Homo-oligomer: A and B are copies of this chain.
């Protein structure tokens, strides 16, 4: 298939990719909240924007946000829900430059809270990436931290595996393999007051980071090995229930329903009955909701590894019986997450089709919202020319359209209770922050676990 999107693309180590489309072209989007239920979401959240900000503020006091996050949102026109929350976000290179002042201000406040006096920050990055876009992401992060007034260095968990064509991705920046000195971690002659992780710790928490006295943000306990999607979406469900009660909205409109099964072995076909049963239940629930809102669509369900996999080990079914009839390729795909770990726990999530279609070709798109501390700082649309509105777009070949957030976000326009860019992005920022609040609860959960 020929793509009409500009530029080429490659997935990076986080499945995030590449070529930015200028903001000016981003008006290739049509109205999305056309369904009655979508209009209800938009008008409710925009009208209550001041109360929502107060509500969120109270929650950040009780459960502080993790250092940063990106949230993938699917807007179906009749519902808007987060489908993935990444606590070690790459892709800062995909944000529009106009987002940088917001990023800098948020970084400053987040670091200041843990390092009121000192000014040295160590950014621990992925060591094994060969992806130039990931390097670019790191360089943007380093630059933002420096412009927030901090001295910054790059920490590697092991000697970097440098590919032939990327001779020195960290040239010009202080960098090295992290060293442990007593209860502190740093580099030669660089003793940071805090550590920021941009490495999702897929091999587990390294010994060097255990029991150190410096604060590490986000908590290593939120690394890929510990985190479960079912825990995140469980917290999210509770939060959306509370939020929906307060602001008089059906919680389903902001929540992709899920169920989970442990101990699935696709290769040996074990545990499939559990999957089938839960899929049946989920399809039943979705169909009832579709009837309630007169949505004329065929529901679908997404199967994902419960432990984060960034776009891998994801599968879509339209019928519960499909779980019994996976072909070899599908079984093998669902058995291998990032790093080749075998998948044993599976989450079934209500599929949310995207109504965001980019450009004349109407490419399927979803928005990715970036937050630092508890502030929405920017985002982009992820577009894919080869994927349908019901497929995961977090795949090789994705393209990125920066969101014009500086103009729009946080700027709900209650005077205009219709869909405009301002109001749409405000609503996205609210739902993304509800997912961030779920991550804050995860963080507290893990803190209790390790304390």
- A positions within 8 Å CB-CB of B: 49-50, 53-54, 56-58, 61, 97-98, 100-102, 104-106, 108-109, 116-117, 119, 146-151, 375, 405-407, 409-412
Contacts and interface: CB of A to CB of B under 8 A. Distances in A.
A58 B119 contact: yes
B411 A108 contact: no
A107 to B, nearest CB: 11
A244 to B, nearest CB: 19
A100 B411 contact: yes
B117 A61 contact: yes
B101 A147 contact: no
Contacts of A412: 147
A404 to B, nearest CB: 9
Given A50-B147, A147-B50, A147-B410, A57 B105 contact: no
B97 A57 contact: no
A76 to B, nearest CB: 27
A56 B104 CA distance: 14
A116 B49 contact: no
A144 to B, nearest CB: 10
A-B pairs, 5 with minimum CB distance: A57-B149, A53-B149, A406-B406, A101-B410, A50-B146
A152 to B, nearest CB: 9
A113 to B, nearest CB: 10
A103 to B, nearest CB: 10
A53 B406 contact: no
A405 B151 CA distance: 25
Contacts of A375: 105
A411 B148 contact: no
Given A50-B146, A53-B147, A98 B407 contact: yes
Contact of A411 (B101, B146, B407, B409): B101
Contact of A102 (B61, B101, B116): B101
A116 B50 contact: no
6 contacts: A50-B146, A53-B146, A58-B119, A101-B411, A109-B109, A147-B410
Nearest to A53: B149
A54 B97 contact: no
A47 to B, nearest CB: 13
B102 A56 contact: no
Contacts of A147: 49-50, 53, 410, 412
Nearest to A147: B53
A119 B57 contact: yes
Given A101-B409, A104-B410, 16 more contacts: A50-B146, A53-B148, A53-B149, A54-B150, A54-B151, A57-B119, A57-B149, A97-B407, A97-B411, A100-B410, A101-B406, A102-B102, A105-B375, A147-B410, A147-B412, A406-B406
Contacts of A105: 102, 105-106, 375
Contacts of A53: 146-149
A394 to B, nearest CB: 27
A149 B54 contact: yes
Contacts of A146: 50, 53-54
A167 B148 CA distance: 45
A183 to B, nearest CB: 25
Which of A53, A101, A149: most chain B Cβ within 10 A? A101
A106 B104 CA distance: 11
A406 B378 CA distance: 12
A56 B146 CA distance: 12
Contacts of A100: 410-411
A317 B372 CA distance: 52
A412 B144 CA distance: 11
A58 B149 CA distance: 9
A412 B97 CA distance: 11
A411 B54 CA distance: 30
Contacts of A104: 410
Contacts of A49: 147
Nearest to A149: B57
